[in-house]
């Protein structure tokens, strides 16, 4: 009889432990769901909160993986990008082929897409699809100027606000705020994933003229115009901040008119002496960079 009683007691204890374990798992899952849902919704509605709401430490404490932007898998000297969630920003829905590199990640936004390099902590390119209707709609959108670090990138791969403070460089938009046609797009354009350290005079002078001239062309175009913008690094690049955000040697802006099939590339040194000059051909751009964006 004593043996049977002990067996019953052990079974009851085992049942209680199982129930407690199930409850803990349920509560853990519920807490994670609530935290991540609140954080995600807050960051979507107010992107500037991403520098205040840090989900990564919470998820790590709960033993859950942090959801990063998808990486590009390199299979050789060249890599085929995917961008399965936002192929509308690429001509014919075909994402580009780029030189392979470490920590390349794809980021989709409401009005542009970014291939980001965790090595330089800047974009490789930013892709946009624009037309007259979008730019006309964007004239009523107020600029926000609320910069924020990109929470979808691991902290070891992203730029932070402190990296730019006191650096002497502008947080230079690759997809310009002036191109944005919705409130969400305007807010998202201030992600630091969309920025490079840019010479202040070049940014506000000749580069600003290139952006304005591109918008003027799109307003005259009969259909969609695809624009790719990004930095180019040559030799040993300078860097800013504790995160060592790389300072580009050159900036490019590739414009492709899908209706006419015409394309051209603005190419400028990232320096105060930069001037607006004649564009180069797409073929010359590919030869200089290895980026097959079209």
What integer best gives the mean pLDDT of the chain? 85
Q: What whole-number distance in Å separates Cα of residue 285 and Cα of residue 290?
A: 8
Q: What whole-number distance in Å separates Cα of residue 44 and Cα of residue 49?
A: 9
Burial 107-137 (b: 16+ CB within 10 A, else e): bbbbbbbbbbbbebbbbbbbbbbbbbebbee
pLDDT for residue 33 is more than 90: no
| Whether 101 contacts 74, CB under 8 Å | yes
Give the pLDDT band (50/70/90) at residue 5: low
Please indicate whether residue 249 or residue 235 has the higher confidence score (pLDDT): 249
Question: Can you read off the two tokens belonging to residue 3?
Answer: 């043996």
Q: To 5 degrees, how large is the angle CA 72–CA 76–CA 81?
A: 30
Q: What whole-number distance in Å separates Cα of residue 267 and Cα of residue 290?
A: 15
Could you list the beta-strand ranges (E) of 59-112: 78-80, 97-99, 104-108
Interstrand relation of 250-257 and 225-232 (parallel, antiparallel or unpaired): antiparallel
Tens digit of each residue's pLDDT (9 = 90 or more) over 125-180? 999 999 999 999 999 899 999 999 999 999 999 999 999 999 999 999 999 999 99
Q: What integer is the mean pLDDT of 52-69?
A: 51
Question: Can you read off the two tokens belonging to residue 120?
Answer: 């330089």
Identify the CA nearest to 108 among candidates 147, 152, 145: 152
Give the pLDDT band (50/70/90) at residue 41: very low
Tens digit of each residue's pLDDT (9 = 90 or more) over 209-222? 999 999 999 999 99
Q: What whole-number distance in Å separates Cα of residue 57 and Cα of residue 62?
A: 9
Q: What integer is the mean pLDDT of 73-89?
A: 91
DSSP classification of residue 50: G
Percentage of the chain exceeding pLDDT 70: 77
Tens digit of each residue's pLDDT (9 = 90 or more) over 252-264? 999 999 999 999 9
The residue assigned the tokens 């964007």 is: 138
Best mean pLDDT range from 20-34, 59-73, 268-282: 268-282
Question: Can you read off the two tokens belonging to residue 42?
Answer: 């807050």
Please list the active-site residues: 173
Q: What integer is the mean pLDDT of 265-292?
A: 97
Q: What integer is the mean pLDDT of 172-195?
A: 98
Give the model's pLDDT for residue 3: 54
Please indicate whether residue 26 or residue 153 has the higher confidence score (pLDDT): 153
Give the pLDDT band (50/70/90) at residue 82: very high
Give the model's pLDDT for residue 235: 84
Identify the CA nearest to 197 among candidates 247, 144, 249, 258: 247
Identify the CA nearest to 194 among candidates 163, 162, 172, 161: 172
Q: What is the pTM of this model?
A: 0.79
Give the model's pLDDT for residue 138: 96
The residue assigned the tokens 């392979």 is: 100
Give the pLDDT band (50/70/90) at residue 251: very high
DSSP classification of residue 69: P
Give the model's pLDDT for residue 61: 45
């Amino acid at each position: 009889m004593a043996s049977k009683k002990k067996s019953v007691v052990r079974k009851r204890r085992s049942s209680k432990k199982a129930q407690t374990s199930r409850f803990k798992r349920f509560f853990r899952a519920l807490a994670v769901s609530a935290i991540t849902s609140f954080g995600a919704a807050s960051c979507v509605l107010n992107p500037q909160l991403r520098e205040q709401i840090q989900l990564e430490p919470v998820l790590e404490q709960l033993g859950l993986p942090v959801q990063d932007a998808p990486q590009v898998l390199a299979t050789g000297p060249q890599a085929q990008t995917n961008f399965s969630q936002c192929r509308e920003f690429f001509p014919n829905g075909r994402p580009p082929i780029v030189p392979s590199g470490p920590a390349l990640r794809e980021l989709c936004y409401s009005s542009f897409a970014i291939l980001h390099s965790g090595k330089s902590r800047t974009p490789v390119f930013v892709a946009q699809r624009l037309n007259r209707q979008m730019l006309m709609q964007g004239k009523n959108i107020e600029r926000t100027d609320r910069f924020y670090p990109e929470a979808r990138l691991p902290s070891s791969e992203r730029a932070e606000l402190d990296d730019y403070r006191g650096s002497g460089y502008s947080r230079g938009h690759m997809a310009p705020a002036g191109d944005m046609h919705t409130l969400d797009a305007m807010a998202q354009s201030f992600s630091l994933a969309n920025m490079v350290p840019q010479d202040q005079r070049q940014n506000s002078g000749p580069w600003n003229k290139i952006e304005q001239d591109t918008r003027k062309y799109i307003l005259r175009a009969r259909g969609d115009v695809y624009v790719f913008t990004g930095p180019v690094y040559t030799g040993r690049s300078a860097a800013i901040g504790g995160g060592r955000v790389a300072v580009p040697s050159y900036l490019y802006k590739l414009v492709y008119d899908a209706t006419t099939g015409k394309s051209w590339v603005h190419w400028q040194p990232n320096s105060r002496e930069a001037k607006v000059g004649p564009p180069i051909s797409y073929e010359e751009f590919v030869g200089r960079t290895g980026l097959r964006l079209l």
